[in-house]
Amino acid sequence: MHDEVNSPSHYNSGGIETIDYIEAKLSPEEFRGFCLGNALKYLSRTGKKGDATIDLRKAQWYIARIKVKD
């Protein structure tokens, strides 16, 4: 089953999911910024490019990936 939010097939090529590769290459602080930027992108375009629910779920997915420093 195709999951457009949690594991889109176009981001899983070459044996590694793109988000995992990005996380491995960035510092924790850089990765938090990347995730926050993507969440803001999806929130700001909600409903302007198709199904608003998908945009909101994608923003939520990126927010969940942010690791908060203790």
Q: What is the pLDDT of residues 21-34, one digit of tens each?
A: 999 999 999 999 99
Q: What band does 9 get if pLDDT is binned at 50, 70 and 90?
A: low
How much is the pTM? Answer: 0.77
**Please, which residues have CB within 8 angstroms of residue 9's CB and are 6 or more apart in sequence?**
2
